[in-house]
Amino acid sequence: MQIRPRRNRKSAGIRALVRETQLSTDDLLFPIFLVEGKNQRKPVDSMPGIARLSLDGVLKEVESCMQLGVRAFDIFPVVGEQLKDKIASYSWAEDNFYLHALASVKAHFPEAVIMTDVAMDPYSSDGHDGLVGDGRILNDETLPILAKMAIAQAQAGADIIGPSDMMDGRVGYLRAALDDEGYEDVSIMSYTAKYASAFYGPFRDALDSAPKFGDKKTYQMDPANRLEALREMQLDTEEGADFLMVKPALAYLDVIRLLKDNSELPIAAYNVSGEYAMLKAAGERGWLDYERAMLESLTSIKRAGADIILSYHAKEAAQLLR
């Protein structure tokens, strides 16, 4: 007798029976870039297929995604340079177009899951995620700013806030601040293991949010580190996070698996802008089959242990999964 694993691969029907990982539209969360104004559609050059949309376009995008079965969205604002300052005050301003847009999306689509990003960079004249003083990123002084931003987003209707700044102690600080204001139902998806990665380049193009000096290495994690992700996991868990995220995804599949094996919390992975751009660029040149490579990538992120995948491919993936 010879053991023949190929018997379980002999037809599509058998392969479906033994398939271990099922990618579903339920797993996907679609990031969207919002600009101020009306009828705006500004393509992001480094992210073919992705554009910065004004609210009218965002509403259409959300609607078509919902019809395809993608119900969760992470909305990021493109903030004009003239609105930026040292303390990111526009992030909680009364007349902030982003906050108004969130409320509008929520009013049109109450069943949609709306996630927001909590970090100073899109609103900061320094382009950093934290407050800058004497050329350094100040941790504890940043926390009250993040809290104001988070509360404003919760008030606008965010279901999940996503602290993406990697300041120490932010999850506990934000949890307490939200609870104090009566937003105990607002969830926190912590960017738990967020690496100082080159793969965020296209995102910073889209938001025009690159740091004005230096880099983010004193707060985002060193790509070489694994145990440090466990340490961040423990802290975010103790501080009350509802979801733990690993970011980027494809170059950090081992970290996704590490967190999945060591936590009871749902694990999310952010398939970031640069990962999207790579597949698009190669696909456009005819160097690989974009659709297959995309589904393979998303499946591998799920196989690694991600329960939730944030991805710019989400809408296209949903079209193929249908």
Q: Nearest distance from residue 74's CB to ligand PBG, in Å?
A: 8
Q: Which one is catalytic: 84, 194, 216, 260?
A: 194
Spell out the residues 6+ positions from residue 144 whose beta carbon is closer than 8 angstroms to its own.
none
Is 148:176 a contact under the CB 8 Å cutoff?
no
273 lines the binding site for ligand PBG (CB under 6 A): yes
In the complex with ligand PBG, the residue whose CB is nearer, 126 or 165, is 165
Is 67:228 a contact under the CB 8 Å cutoff?
no
- Looking at residues 195 to 254 of the shown chain, list those that interact with ligand PBG (rule: CB under 6 A): 200, 203-204, 216
In the complex with ligand PBG, the residue whose CB is nearer, 32 or 101, is 32
124 lines the binding site for ligand PBG (CB under 6 A): no
Among 126, 129, 232, 236, binds ligand PBG (CB under 6 A): 129
73 lines the binding site for ligand PBG (CB under 6 A): no
Return phi, psi of residue 113, to 5°: -100, 120
In the complex with ligand PBG, the residue whose CB is nearer, 61 or 121, is 121
Closest CA to 34 of 18, 52, 47: 52
Question: Tokens 């990003």 correspond to what residue?
Answer: 117
Q: Nearest distance from residue 123's CB to ligand PBG, in Å?
A: 11
CA distance 122 to 207: 7
* Whether 260 is catalytic: no
What residues are paired with 161 via a beta bridge?
116, 188
Q: What CA–CA distances, in Å, run from 80 to 2, 83, 112, 298, 305?
A: 67, 6, 27, 33, 38
Is 70:25 a contact under the CB 8 Å cutoff?
yes
In the complex with ligand PBG, the residue whose CB is nearer, 164 or 190, is 164
Q: Which one is catalytic: 38, 42, 216, 247?
A: 247
In the complex with ligand PBG, the residue whose CB is nearer, 20 or 222, is 222
DSSP letter (8 states) at residue 226: S
CA distance 181 to 61: 31
272 lines the binding site for ligand PBG (CB under 6 A): yes
Structure tokens at 62: 């959300």
Q: Which stretch binds ligand PBG (CB under 6 A): 14-22, 37-45, 113-121, 236-244?
A: 113-121
Return phi, psi of residue 35, to 5°: -115, 160
Q: Nearest distance from residue 120's CB to ligand PBG, in Å?
A: 8
Structure tokens at 9: 């691969």
In the complex with ligand PBG, the residue whose CB is nearer, 262 or 278, is 278
How many Cβ atoms are within 10 Å of 105's Cβ, its own excluded?
Answer: 23
Burial of 104 (0-12, 13-18, 19+ CB in 10 A): middle
Residues in the interface with ligand PBG (CB under 6 A) total 12
* Whether 315 is catalytic: no
Q: Nearest distance from residue 75's CB to ligand PBG, in Å?
A: 12
Q: Nearest distance from residue 10's CB to ligand PBG, in Å?
A: 40
In the complex with ligand PBG, the residue whose CB is nearer, 80 or 182, is 80
Among 44, 50, 119, 301, binds ligand PBG (CB under 6 A): 119
126 lines the binding site for ligand PBG (CB under 6 A): no
For residue 159, is it left (φ>0), alpha (ψ between -120 and 50) or beta?
alpha
Q: Nearest distance from residue 56's CB to ligand PBG, in Å?
A: 23
The catalytic residues are: 194, 247
Residues that bind ligand PBG (CB under 6 A): 117, 119, 121, 129, 164-165, 200, 203-204, 216, 272-273
